[in-house]
Structure 1
Amino acid sequence: MGRIRSAALLGLLPAVLVLTGCIADPGPEPTLAQNSSQAPESTSPGVPSTSAPLETTQSSNKAPVYWIGRSNNNVFLYREFRDVPEQENPVTRALRAMMSDKPLDPDFFTPWQNPKKLATSISGKNVITVDVSEDAFNSNLDADMAGRAIQQLVYTATAAGASAGLIDSGQQIQVMVLVDGHTDYLAFNHVRLGTLMSRSPGMVAPVWIIDPQEDVEVADGSVKITGRNTVPGGKLRWRILREEGNGEKAPFLTGETTAAAEAAQSGVFTLALTLTPGDYELRVAQADPSGSDQELNVDTRSFSVR
C-alpha cells in the first residue's frame, strides 16, 4: 500500500487542498464523453429528470454512500449513511466504502472492486479529484451500467464533500477521475474519463426511503419515517407488513401521504407511526395517476421494533 504522490495532483490542479489521500483497506449538464452515463429517456410516471439535492453539512461521522438498485424496470442510485473508519478524509472513506463494502439493503449493489490505491483532493474551485488504481474497474459491465457506476462515484464523492462541509454547496461541484495518475482511461471499457463530471440528471431513485435504514432496531414503538419523492407535491402510497411466526409477511397498516411541494423541502415526505414490537417491512410507492393499485417505483425497507 503506498500513497499517491501529492505532486501529481498539485500539478494538475493549482491551489489544491490535498486531503491525505489514503491507501488502505448527494446543475448544468455534465461534461461526459460520448459514452455518457446519463440515464435513458423514460416516460414512466415519476422518473426523475433532475439530480438529487446536494447533501447538507452534518455533524455525524457517518459517510453518505450511493449504491445502484432496481425499481420496476429501471435502475437508479440510492443512498445509505455508513459507519466508516476515521483515519481517511471524508471523501476517500466514503468512496472506499462504496468500492469495498456491501450495501445494508440487499436490493442494492455496487459493481466497483476494492482498489489497491485511492486518493482524493479538493481544489478551491469546487473540483474533487479522485485518483484510483485500475483494479477498481475489474467488473464486466454493459455501457448503460458502466455509466451508472461512474455516476455512483460522482454522487458519492460530492455527497461526502458537502456532508463534511469541505465544499461550497452553493456552487456547482465537479469531479475529475484519474486512474493511476492519468487521464483518458476507458472505465469499464465504456466510459472515457478525463473530463470534469457533475451529477447527471435522472440517476436518483424516484422514491427513496431515507430513514429508517435497512435492518435497524427502533427502541420503542414510535417510528419516524422520512423519504424523498422526485415529484414535489406528488401522492404516495405506503404499506407496513408485519412478519408472522411462520415467516410470512402480512398486511398491518396502509395509508397515503403527499410529498412536500415547497422549495426548501421539495419532494420530502414524513410519517410518524406507533408500532408494537415485531419485525416489519415498509413499502412506499408513487400513486398511479390512472387510479390503479399498481405500485410505481416502489422502495422497501426492513426494520424491527423492540
Structure 2
Amino acid sequence: MPETAAPRRARGAFSGTRSAVLAGLLAAVPVLAGCIAEPGPSPTGTLSLSTAAPGITSGAPSTSAPLETTQSSNKAPVYWIGRSNSDVFLYREFRDVPEQENPVTRALRAMMSEKPLDPDFFTPWQNPKQLATSISGKDVITVDVSEDAFNSNLDADMAARAIQQLVYTATAAAASSGLIDSGQQIRVRILVDGHTDYVAFDHVQLGSLMARTAGLVAPVWIIDPQENVEVPDGSVKITGRSTLPGGKLRWQILRSGDNGDKTPFLTGETTAAADPAQAGVFTLALTLPEGDFELRVAQTSSADGQVDGTEDTRSFKVR
C-alpha cells in the first residue's frame, strides 16, 4: 500500500508486591483487561500515569537499552508494561508462539493479542486485523499494522510507553532471531494501514524512524523462572537483570502455606555482573523443597542495603 503524508488520528519494596499498586492503575480502565485478546470498542476511561514516564518526560536517570543477543530458543521476546513503586517500566517475557510468520511479526502479534504470564503486567494494545513486518538493510524494521490495534484510550505518557513497548519488542525479536546486526542501533518505522503520520492513541506522531528510548526498561527484573512455572526440587537456578552493573540487590523467597499466607523462607544479597558481556545479569542457585514460592528482588540504594523501591516479584512452584 502506498505511503501518504496525510495526518491520521486514532479512534478512539519487600513489604508488598506490585499487584496492589497496579490494581489502582487498571481500575481506571475496568474493561481493558477483558479486551486484550480480542478487538473491541474503545474503553470509556483513559489509562494514565500518575507520574511522568521515566526516560520520556521525567528527570529519571537514563540507563542503557542494549539489544537482546541471538538465541537458539524458538521463544519470542515480548515486552509488557508494569509498575514498580510509583514508576511504570517495560518488562520482558519469553513466549511460545506459532511459527507461521516471521519472528518479528510473531512477537508483535503476541504483544497485541495475548495476556502476560505475570499478572502484574499488562498491554494496552488490541488484537489487529492486519499486521506485517519487514526489514530493510541491517538496521530498519518496518511495522505495518491496522488502525484497530490502537483502540484504547491512553494519556500522553502511557501512549509514549505503548509505542516504546512495540519498538522494544520488534527490535528484541529481530536481534534474538539473528535477523539484524545487534551491534548497531536498530530503528523502527510504524505504518498504520500503509500510511505514515498517523497519530497513535491521539498522542504520538508515527512515520519517522524510532529507536529504543533509554531508561524505560525496569531497573530490575526476574528472567527465570517465569510466572507460575514448575521447576524440579533441589537446586533451583534463578536469573535476572539489573540496570546497574555491579549494583547490589536484595532477594527474598517466601513460601505459601495451605491457607495461602506467605512467610519468609530465605533471604540474601547478590551483586549484578559488571562485565560488559553480561552487564547487570545476576544468578542465584538455591536449594528449595517442594512447595509454592514467591521470589522478590530489589535494588539497594545505599551502603546499608536499604531497597530503593524498585522491585520485581515472581511466583513459581517446586515439584
Provide the identity percentage.
Answer: 78
2:250 is matched with which residue: 226, 237, 256? 237
Residues 37 and 304 of structure 1, relative CA distance in 2, 3 Å threshold: closer
> SS of the residue aligned with 1:186?
strand
Q: How many residues align?
A: 272
Residues 42 and 209 of structure 1, relative CA distance in 2, 3 Å threshold: farther
Match status 1:276 vs 2:293: no
How far off its partner does 1:221 sit?
2.0
Please show how residues 132-211 of structure 1 align to structure 2 within 5 Å: 132-211=145-224
Q: Distance in 2 between matches of 1:125 and 1:211?
A: 30
Structure 1 length-normalised TM: 0.85
- Does the 8 A contact of 1:38 with 1:147 survive in 2? no
| RMSD (CA atoms) | 1.9
1:56 is matched with which residue: 69, 91, 100? 69
Letter in 2 for 1:274: T
How far off its partner does 1:52 sit?
2.8
- Does the 8 A contact of 1:38 with 1:148 survive in 2? no
Please show how residues 1-306 of structure 1 align to structure 2 within 5 Å: 8=2, 38-42=55-59, 49-289=62-302, 291=304, 293-294=306-307, 296-306=309-319
Q: Distance in 2 between matches of 1:192 and 1:42?
A: 23
Q: Distance in 1 between matches of 2:285 and 2:303?
A: 28
> SS of the residue aligned with 1:245?
coil
- Deviations along 1:174-205, one digit per CA (max 9) or x if unpaired, are 00000000000000000000100000011000
How far off its partner does 1:288 sit?
3.0
Letter in 2 for 1:191: V
Letter in 1 for 2:57: P
Q: Distance in 2 between matches of 1:230 and 1:244?
A: 33
- Does the 8 A contact of 2:93 with 2:226 survive in 1? yes
> SS of the residue aligned with 2:246?
coil
- Does the 8 A contact of 2:80 with 2:111 survive in 1? yes
- The equivalent of 1:30 in structure 2 is none
- Does the 8 A contact of 1:37 with 1:150 survive in 2? no
- Does the 8 A contact of 1:51 with 1:203 survive in 2? no
Letter in 2 for 1:256: E
